[in-house]
Copies of this chain bind each other. A is one copy, B any other.
Amino acid sequence: MSTIPTATISRLVTYLRILEQLESQGIKRTSSEHLAEEAQVSAFQVRKDLAYFGRFGTRGAGYTVPTLRRELRRILGLTRSWNVAIIGMGRLGQAIANYPNFDSYDFILKGLFDTDPEKIGQSISGLEVFHPEQLPRLVKEKGIDIGFITVSPEAAQIAADALVQAGIRGILNFAPAVINVPKEIHVEPVDFLAGLKRLSFYIQNPQLKEELA
């Protein structure tokens, strides 16, 4: 068991997506080879990633799509649903609150927060916007597990502190800023401006894209 690469977790999410697509197409069986092709990794990698968690296939035959899908959902903690709050109801926060079928993705929107008095009391996507001072109470009452930070980079650390204080367990950080939280709280950055700047680097330095002689 020991230590599981973070890249493995990212790939499990990709495998799960592929399995869900296969299942919706009525395909019953697959193989490490096939999953590897769809996920654009090696078949070794697929098998090694799965081996961290157990044995899910049949030698000589491959994997049963619904079984492996169920196992991956269990591994990823998707047998339960997670309650989510959004801090920052600017354009981005509103776009996410209105994301179509957000609730079908095993994550349920339970709270919206903003410091702007204009926004407090407004209803967005069927939920009232509260001041962040209500966070501790509402996190407890509604069983909120995860917070989205969609405030400005300057306010991101304050929002993170408020979420941690309120007893949240994980943070999805959309702000272009590094936030500092206790190590038992997991943070996932979602940062398209950083992605753009990485793109800029790789376009400008194409020789680093596989050392083509």
Contacts and interface: CB of A to CB of B under 8 A. Distances in A.
A91 B82 contact: no
Contact of A13 (B174, B194, B212): B194
A161 interface: no
Interface residues of A, number: 68
Nearest to A212: B184
Given A95-B92, A199-B146, A4 B208 contact: yes
Contacts of A17: 153, 176-177
A107 to B, nearest CB: 6
Contacts of A191: 190
A107 B18 CA distance: 33
B200 A106 contact: yes
Contacts of A9: 198, 201-202
Contact of A201 (B77, B145, B153): B77
A118 interface: no
Integer count of this chain's copies in the complex: 2
B203 A145 contact: yes
A138 interface: no
16 contacts: A10-B198, A13-B198, A77-B200, A77-B204, A78-B197, A105-B193, A106-B200, A145-B203, A170-B199, A170-B200, A172-B192, A183-B210, A186-B199, A186-B203, A186-B209, A190-B192
Given A12-B201, A188-B199, 19 more contacts: A4-B208, A10-B198, A13-B198, A40-B178, A76-B197, A76-B201, A76-B204, A77-B201, A78-B197, A78-B200, A82-B196, A82-B203, A145-B203, A146-B196, A172-B196, A174-B192, A186-B202, A186-B209, A188-B195
Interface of A: 3-4, 6, 9-10, 12-14, 16-18, 38-40, 75-78, 82, 91-92, 95-96, 98-100, 105-107, 145-146, 153, 169-172, 174, 176-178, 180, 183-184, 186, 188-206, 208-212
What 9 A-B pairs have minimum CB-CB distances, sorted nearest first? A77-B204, A188-B195, A186-B202, A95-B95, A77-B200, A170-B199, A190-B192, A13-B197, A169-B203
